[in-house]
Structure 1
Amino acid sequence: MHPLAQFNFCPKCGSNRFEENNIKSKKCGNCGFIYYFNSSAATVAVILNQENELLVSTRAFEPAKGTLDLPGGFVDMGESLEDAVVREVKEETNLDVEELQYLFSEPNLYMYSGFQVETADAFFLCKVNNTRQLKAEDDVAKLEFIKIKDLDPSKFGLSSIRKGIVKAIEEGILNK
């Protein structure tokens, strides 16, 4: 089912004359408002320790509960991608990002409360100077550093993260 099929009423005037306009929008037959269903922005943190091991989390909740993931999450309204990745790393790992560098992005489909959210996931290389305060928090069940040579992309539950791990290895961002 297309995500727009779940929207039956105009968010501006409440009319039930909210009809398909094209593949990515609906238009209100009452007030003329056009709603475009765009991707939500999300961030992903690639954090390496001194031994060149990748910080990996285990998801505590659905979607993909119990699978591997990387720290990150949705960008809040009024927040930059950079601010979002710093906030998400702090919320999920208790680590402070000292430096960051944009790497690349990947599209994703994220099932949230039975609703499919299309996201654009921005990957950042994040430098942290102190990992002694590392602690799994928020929606993370466990955190661990994994040797790059031991990474198995199939163990990551979200497609964008799997693709991102493969891309980071192929592009030499994660050196074996």
Structure 2
Amino acid sequence: MGRIVAIYGSPRRAGNTATLLAEAVAGAKSRGALVDEIVLRDRKISPCLEIYGCKKTGECVIKDDFQAVRDAILAADGLMLATPIFFYTVSAHVKALMDRCQSLWVKKYWIDKTEPGQRLLRREGLLISAGATKGKRLFDGTLLTVKYFFDVLDTRLWDSLLYRELEFEGDVEKHPLYLQQARDAGCRLAGAICADNA
């Protein structure tokens, strides 16, 4: 049975990405996956202060909710990340989590001396993102950022669901196809993880 961490990165509890992620979670659970849901807006996670207290052990010296979120991710077989677009990248809540994972980067590349480009993929990752505009490059920054974030977590960007012209809370409800795609992605992710663990 696979374990998935679902990270809600929106500042809105019932925003479009939160609604889409809830559908993906329901899909994964319907396939037997255990899902740990984490709402970042409810967690106290300081931004990285770049004091490099992590240089010796790879452990971030700022003590807050980051450690519990990190441990949940590292114990999982799959990761779902949902974020709205803010200035062509992830939300501040997601970025704070990413930046605190600099301690994992330090451990991986400075302490454990992993060769750049050497990848040991331990989990599969699903990105769900929504933005208000039609811009062709709306998701370019987010995709690049998430790719490198997932890299430090030994996670493959397995799939991404990217939706334009969703701005106001509830807009996604007008698009039942998007909701079905999210549920289907959750089912498929759980299936992929369970197959890997068989």
TM over 0.5: no
Query: Who wins on radius of gyration, i.e. which is larger?
Result: 1
Shorter-chain TM band? under 0.3
Flag the structure with higher strand content. 1
Q: TM-score, normalised by structure 2?
A: 0.24
